[in-house]
């Protein structure tokens, strides 16, 4: 019986620091594999919009991240192959891959007072709460690319198809980035459901939506898939990355790709987590905006993670949005708070088109509605995001420190 393989994430040294500067990182990984093993290394540039990793033996699926600052390869290796690779002078670290999950959806039983119906076109209560409609005369986020890194998007949904511009699937066998779970579609609607006379309206109703499917039909995935998804976002010119997902453990490679995305001008947002305790990953990282969840009374949701890494807060209790199959529904969690902030970033960027991601963050963090102690606190971060004030700001905001490790 052959030894069971497990997924690992291999971070390589920068090319100028490698003992063999001419060696390709994929060739280095291939060198420890058995002769004739037909492992396929997928990368962001090989997966065009609408493409997918095909259905194949999971032991043969690997990912190649071609970022100079984040030279990463993921693969499924045996214990002996891991040990051999760890001794290679070109390798910085070999980490075990970790499981991640969609954050949210288990709090649907919670009630939210005065939640409007969708019998006519409805601006959901959370979108109103962060004062997005007041900012729409200045910007609806037109043309700002927002990647929803999640379970995919129902791109045929009547409220989403006008703004949907493409996507990719890193879930093997999912032939398109179509949502087969519902979580990603709900998040996408909060970001950018269009104004079309029916259904619901998102925070940035003219932003461009991209589905980066890294979670399967059960809402689970791996850090290696997140890393590949963020790499795709960098390679394909996304402006905002919305990640309503996470795991409980840290990863050097995951942190590196998030740092690389931020350094290349992307604004990365993630759900803080639903443990009621510490912030999860990747939200815990400094170059990822960690979002906690509040209710309609501006109280911190009981389930919301909190702590020194929280940056900002947004509505996350019984949020009304789009669901797969052309329907609508409510979900709760920091997963629902995260796309409020991602949509706010798109709307604010639409009003300040020549701003950098750091400048957009400063606007979002400075022009908040403070809910806790003056300034920053571990529950609400700097405060509740306010689209109107940030979009209509007439001068750059002061530098606001991002939290996280």
Catalytic residues: 150, 183, 335
Residue 392 to residue 405: CA distance in whole angstroms = 31
Query: Is the distance from CB of 166 to CB of 52 less than 8 angstroms?
Result: no
Backbone φ, ψ for residue 323 (5° rounding): -130, 165
User: Two tokens at 396?
Assistant: 């750059």
Q: Which residues fall within 8 angstroms of residue 305, CB to CB, at 6 or more apart?
A: 272, 273, 274, 275, 276, 277, 278, 279, 280, 283, 292, 334
Residue 33 to residue 30: CA distance in whole angstroms = 5
Query: Is the distance from CB of 19 to CB of 89 less than 8 angstroms?
Result: yes
Exposure string (b/e) for 32-56, b if CB count within 10 Å is 16 or more? bbeeeeebebbbbeebeeebbbeee
Query: Is the distance from CB of 266 to CB of 239 less than 8 angstroms?
Result: yes
Residue 48 to residue 114: CA distance in whole angstroms = 43
């Amino acid at each position: 019986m052959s030894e069971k393989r497990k997924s690992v994430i291999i971070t390589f040294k920068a090319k100028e620091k490698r003992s063999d500067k001419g060696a390709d990182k994929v060739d280095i990984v291939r060198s420890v594999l058995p002769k004739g093993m037909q492992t396929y290394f997928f990368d962001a540039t090989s997966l065009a919009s609408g493409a997918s990793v095909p259905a194949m033996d999971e032991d043969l699926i690997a990912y190649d991240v071609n970022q100079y600052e984040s030279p990463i390869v993921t693969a499924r290796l045996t214990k002996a192959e891991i040990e051999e690779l760890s001794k290679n002078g070109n390798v910085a670290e070999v980490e075990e891959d970790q499981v991640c999950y969609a954050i949210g959806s288990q709090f649907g039983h919670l009630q939210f007072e005065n939640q409007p119906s969708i019998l006519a076109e409805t601006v959901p209560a959370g979108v109103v709460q962060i004062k997005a409609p007041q900012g729409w005369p200045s910007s609806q986020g037109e043309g700002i690319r927002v990647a929803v890194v999640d379970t995919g998007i129902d791109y045929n949904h009547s409220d989403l198809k006008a703004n949907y511009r493409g996507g990719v699937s890193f879930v093997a066998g999912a032939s398109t980035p179509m949502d087969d779970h519902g979580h990603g579609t709900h998040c996408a609607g909060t970001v950018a459901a269009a104004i079309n006379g029916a259904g619901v309206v998102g925070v940035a109703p003219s932003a461009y939506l991209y589905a980066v499917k890294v979670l399967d039909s059960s809402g689970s995935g791996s850090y290696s898939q997140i890393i590949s998804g963020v790499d795709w976002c960098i390679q394909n010119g996304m402006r905002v990355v919305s990640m309503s997902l996470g795991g409980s453990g840290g990863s050097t490679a995951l942190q590196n790709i998030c740092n690389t995305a931020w350094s290349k001008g992307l604004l990365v947002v993630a759900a803080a987590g639903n443990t009621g305790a510490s912030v999860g990953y990747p939200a815990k990282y400094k170059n990822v905006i960690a979002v906690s969840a509040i209710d309609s009374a501006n109280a911190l949701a009981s389930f919301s993670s909190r702590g020194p890494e929280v940056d900002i807060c947004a509505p996350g209790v019984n949020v009304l949005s789009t669901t797969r199959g052309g329907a609508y529904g409510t979900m709760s969690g920091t997963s629902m708070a995260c796309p409020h902030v991602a949509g706010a970033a798109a709307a604010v960027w639409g009003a300040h088109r020549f701003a950098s991601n750091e400048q957009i963050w400063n606007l979002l963090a400075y022009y908040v509605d403070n809910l806790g102690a003056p300034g920053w606190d571990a529950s609400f971060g700097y405060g509740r995001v306010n689209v109107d004030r940030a979009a209509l700001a007439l001068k750059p905001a002061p530098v606001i420190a991002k939290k996280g490790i």
